[in-house]
C-alpha cells in the first residue's frame, strides 16, 4: 500500500529525475519528423516526439524507443488532425510547446492544458514527460493526463479515466473507457453512456456493491507488475489486489485496448522479445458493450466476431463492427403473411421497449410481435414477453436462456436487384428538381427587382425603357407643365425623342411619403399566401411543411393507403435536406444510412419552418 502522504515524495522524485533526463530548453532546435524526431529519456527506453501513424502522417506522443515496435503509451491532442511531415515542434521563448508549419501559418499548442512559462521540458526514465518551472518545480506532467495506458509508478485517481484508442495504429479516442469512480469502484463503460450498472460491463466489485464512498481511492501499478486499488487516505485495510506481475520482467504497462479489454502487459526488454498478457478483464471478449454495431450481436468462434440479425446485411463488408441494415423492404402494417419471425436463442441487447413485459408463452410472444405493426423484435425470457424497436445495440450471446424474435420479410418483400439504386436515383432527381425550382424562382425575383430599379433595359417594342432623373428633368423642362394629380403623385407633360421622331409623354412624380406607405402594404401582401391561388403557384416545400406540422400528411398522397411511418420519415428527411441553411443539411452518407434503417433522424435535425 502507498499512503497519500507519499505523493509529495513522488513529485520530488520526479523533479530530481528531471535533472537527469534529456531536456528541451526555450530556443532549442525544433523537432521534426524527418530530422530530430524525438527527445529520449536518459536510459533511451522512452522518448517524447513524433511517431508515424501511417500514410505519411504523424502524431506527437510518448513511446518505447528502445523496442522495435515503438509501442505508444501516451498521445498529445489525440483527437486532433494527423500531422504532415513538414511540421516543426518548437519550444518558444515564453515557455510553450507549439507546432509550426514549415511553410508558415498559424501555430497550435502541443499540449492544450499546459501552463505557459516553462523553463525546460524533460523525458524521464519512468515514461513521464514533464514541464518544469524556473525553480525546477513541475508545472505539468503526462502522468496526470493519461490516454489509454498506465505505466509503473503512475496513478489513476478519483474521477480520471483511461480511454481506449480507435485501433492499434490510430490513437484517436475509441469506444471504451476505464473510470476510477469516486466511490472506489473501478469500472468500464462504453464511451458516451451514463456511468450506471445498466451500461457498465466490468467492475472491480460485483454490481451494485460499492466500497466505502470516500475520496482518495487510487489505482496504481508498481515496477514489479502488481496492480492494486487502495485508499490513500486510509490506514492500510482498504486495499484490493487485482493482479500480481512477474518480477523478472523489467517492463509493464496497463492498457485498455481498442476491443474494450483491460490488459496488463509485460516485456523482457530485449529487441527480440514480445509483449505478454499477464492479466486481463473481463474474461469474455464479447462483454464490452458496443463492440459490435447496430443490429449486430457478438459471438466467440473462437475469436470475437460480429453477426447480423436475421434479415440484415453488413453496412460495410470490410468492417464487422460497422452495423447492419435490412435486406428487405418494409411495408407499413402489411398482412402478417409478408413477414416471418426468426428466432435467436441466448441473445441479449439493450432493450428499447415500448411495452411493459407481460406474461406469455413462447408462441404467443412470437405471434404478438408478428401481428403488431410497431413491433420489430421481441424478447422472451422467464415467461415474459417484451416488444422492441430497431435499431438494437449492445448485442451479444449470453447464457440467460432468453429467446429473441426478429421480424423479417418473406421472399415476396425482398428488394429486386437495383431497387436501392432506383430509390437513391429518384431521391437525387427530386432533390435536384427542388434546388432548380428554388434557384429559378430566386433568379426571376432578382430579375424583377433589377428591372424595377432601372438596372435592366428591355427592347423598346417589348417593355418600357428606364430613364434617369436628369433625363426626365430635361424632357419635362424641369417639371414645368402639370397635367393632373393622382393619389400617389403629380403628372407632368414632357417631350422625348427616339432618335427619329419626337413623342409627347406623361411623367408621374411619386409622392415619397405616400410611396413608402403603399410599398410597405404591398410587401406585406406579397408575403401572405393567398388561398385562392392555383395549387401549382403555392410552394411545394411550404405546403409539405405545413402538412407535417399539422399532422396532415395524408394530404400529400391524396389520402391513399400508404406506410404512414415511412411517409413521415421521408417527408421529414426531405425537409431536412431542403433546409435553407446549407451547413445544416445532412451529408448524403447519413441520408443513405437513414434510408437503409441504420440510423434514425436525430431530434436536432434542422427542419424548414413557415410558422413564424
Render pLDDT for 555-608 as a digit per residue (tens, 0 to 9). Answer: 777 777 667 777 788 888 888 887 776 667 888 777 877 877 777 787 666 555
Looking up cell 463492427, which residue turns up? Answer: 321
DSSP per-residue letters across 424-470 = HHHHHHHHHHHHHHHHHHHHHHHHHHHHHTT-----TTTSPPP--HH
**C-alpha cell recorded at residue 588:** 448524403
End-to-end CA distance of the chain, in Å?
A: 66
Residue 116 has pLDDT above 60, yes or no: yes
- Please name each of the domains of the chain with its CATH number: 13-144 (2.90.10.10), 149-281 (2.90.10.10), 296-413 (no CATH), 467-526 (3.30.200.20), 529-612 (no CATH)
β strands within 55-157, DSSP E: 57-64, 72-75, 87-91, 97-101, 108-109, 120-123, 129-132, 138-141, 149-150, 155-157
The mean per-residue pLDDT over the stretch 398-426 comes to 66
Range among 178-182, 449-453, 511-515 with highest mean pLDDT value:
178-182
Residues 180 and 159: beta-carbon distance below 8 Å: yes
Q: Is 537 helix (H, G, I), strand (E, B) or coil?
A: helix
Question: Is pLDDT larger for residue 538 or for residue 135?
Answer: 135
CA gap 228, 320 in Å, rounded:
35
Residue 326's pLDDT is 87
Residue 155 has pLDDT above 90, yes or no: yes
Among the listed ranges 4-18, 256-270, 513-527, which one has the minimum average pLDDT value?
4-18
Q: Is 553 helix (H, G, I), strand (E, B) or coil?
A: helix
Q: Phi and psi (nearest 5°) for 254? A: -110, 120
Quote the mean pLDDT of the chain.
79
Residues 338 and 410: beta-carbon distance below 8 Å: yes
Q: Is 586 helix (H, G, I), strand (E, B) or coil?
A: coil
Confidence of residue 13 (pLDDT cuts 50, 70, 90): very low
Tell me the per-residue pLDDT of 320-361, one tens digit each, with 9 for 90 and over.
778 898 888 777 666 567 888 999 888 888 766 777 788 889
Residue 180 has pLDDT above 70, yes or no: yes
Question: Is pLDDT larger for residue 143 or for residue 518?
Answer: 143
Determine if residue 508 is labeled as part of a ligand binding site: yes
The mean per-residue pLDDT over the stretch 141-153 comes to 96
Residue 495's pLDDT is 83
Residue 533's pLDDT is 43
Residue 522's pLDDT is 43
Residue 463 has pLDDT above 50, yes or no: no
Tell me the per-residue pLDDT of 187-246, one tens digit each, with 9 for 90 and over.
999 999 999 888 999 998 876 555 445 567 899 999 889 999 887 665 555 788 899 877
Q: Phi and psi (nearest 5°) for 34? A: -100, -15
CA gap 597, 579 in Å, rounded:
22
Amino acid at each position: 500500500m502507498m499512503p497519500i502522504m507519499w505523493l509529495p515524495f513522488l513529485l520530488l522524485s520526479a523533479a530530481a529525475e528531471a535533472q537527469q533526463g534529456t531536456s528541451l530548453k526555450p530556443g532549442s532546435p525544433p523537432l521534426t519528423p524527418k530530422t530530430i524526431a524525438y527527445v529520449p529519456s536518459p536510459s533511451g527506453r522512452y522518448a517524447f516526439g513524433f511517431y508515424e501513424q501511417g500514410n505519411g502522417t504523424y502524431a506527437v506522443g510518448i513511446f518505447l524507443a528502445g523496442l522495435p515496435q515503438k509501442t505508444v503509451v501516451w498521445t498529445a491532442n489525440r483527437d486532433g488532425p494527423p500531422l504532415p511531415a513538414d511540421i516543426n515542434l518548437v519550444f518558444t521563448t515564453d515557455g510553450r510547446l507549439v507546432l509550426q508549419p514549415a511553410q508558415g501559418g498559424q501555430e497550435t499548442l502541443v499540449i492544450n492544458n499546459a501552463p505557459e512559462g516553462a523553463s525546460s521540458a524533460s523525458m524521464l526514465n519512468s515514461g513521464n514527460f514533464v514541464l518544469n518551472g524556473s525553480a525546477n518545480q513541475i508545472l505539468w506532467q503526462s502522468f496526470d493526463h493519461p490516454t489509454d495506458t498506465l505505466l509503473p509508478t503512475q496513478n489513476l485517481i478519483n474521477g480520471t479515466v483511461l480511454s481506449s484508442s480507435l485501433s492499434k495504429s490510430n490513437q484517436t479516442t475509441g469506444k471504451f473507457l476505464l473510470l476510477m469512480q469516486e466511490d472506489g469502484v473501478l469500472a468500464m463503460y462504453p464511451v458516451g453512456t451514463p456511468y450506471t450498472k445498466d451500461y457498465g460491463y466490468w467492475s472491480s466489485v460485483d454490481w451494485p456493491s460499492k466500497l466505502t464512498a470516500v475520496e482518495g481511492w487510487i489505482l496504481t501499478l508498481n515496477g514489479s507488475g502488481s496492480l492494486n486499488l487502495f485508499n490513500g487516505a486510509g490506514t492500510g485495510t482498504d486495499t484490493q489486489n487485482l493482479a500480481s506481475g512477474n518480477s523478472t520482467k523489467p517492463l509493464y504497462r496497463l492498457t485498455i485496448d481498442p476491443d474494450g479489454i483491460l490488459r496488463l502487459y509485460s516485456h523482457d526488454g530485449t529487441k527480440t522479445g514480445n509483449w505478454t498478457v499477464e492479466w486481463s478483464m473481463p474474461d469474455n471478449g464479447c462483454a464490452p458493450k458496443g463492440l459490435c454495431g447496430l443490429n449486430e450481436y457478438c459471438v466467440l468462434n473462437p475469436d470475437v466476431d460480429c453477426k447480423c440479425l436475421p434479415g440484415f446485411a453488413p453496412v460495410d463488408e470490410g468492417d464487422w463492427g460497422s452495423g447492419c441494415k435490412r435486406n428487405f423492404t418494409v411495408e407499413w402494417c402489411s398482412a402478417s403473411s409478408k413477414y416471418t419471425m426468426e428466432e435467436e436463442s441466448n441473445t441479449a441487447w439493450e432493450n428499447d421497449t415500448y411495452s411493459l413485459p407481460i406474461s406469455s408463452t413462447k408462441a404467443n410472444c412470437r405471434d404478438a410481435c408478428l401481428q403488431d405493426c410497431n413491433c420489430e423484435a421481441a424478447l422472451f425470457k422467464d415467461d415474459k414477453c417484451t416488444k422492441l424497436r430497431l435499431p438494437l445495440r449492445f448485442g451479444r450471446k449470453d447464457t440467460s436462456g432468453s429467446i429473441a424474435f426478429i421480424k423479417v420479410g418473406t421472399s415476396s418483400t425482398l428488394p429486386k436487384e437495383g431497387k436501392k439504386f432506383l430509390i437513391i436515383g429518384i431521391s437525387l432527381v427530386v432533390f435536384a428538381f427542388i434546388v432548380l425550382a428554388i434557384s429559378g424562382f430566386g433568379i426571376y425575383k432578382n430579375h424583377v427587382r433589377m428591372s424595377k430599379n432601372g438596372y435592366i433595359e428591355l427592347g423598346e417594342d417589348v417593355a418600357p425603357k428606364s430613364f434617369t432623373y436628369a433625363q426626365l428633368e430635361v424632357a419635362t423642362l424641369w417639371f414645368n407643365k402639370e397635367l393632373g394629380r393622382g393619389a400617389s403623385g403629380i403628372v407632368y407633360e414632357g417631350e422625348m425623342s427616339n432618335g427619329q421622331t419626337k413623342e409627347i409623354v406623361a411623367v408621374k412624380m411619386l409622392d415619397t411619403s405616400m410611396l413608402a406607405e403603399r410599398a410597405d402594404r404591398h410587401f406585406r401582401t406579397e408575403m401572405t399566401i393567398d388561398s385562392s391561388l392555383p395549387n401549382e403557384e403555392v410552394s411545394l416545400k411550404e405546403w409539405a411543411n405545413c402538412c407535417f406540422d399539422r399532422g396532415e400528411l395524408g394530404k400529400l398522397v391524396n389520402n391513399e393507403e400508404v406506410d404512414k411511418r415511412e411517409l413521415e420519415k421521408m417527408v421529414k428527411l426531405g425537409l431536412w435536406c431542403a433546409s435553407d441553411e446549407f451547413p445544416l443539411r445532412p451529408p448524403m452518407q447519413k441520408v443513405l444510412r437513414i434510408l437503409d434503417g441504420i440510423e434514425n433522424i436525430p431530434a436536432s435535425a434542422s427542419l424548414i419552418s413557415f410558422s413564424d
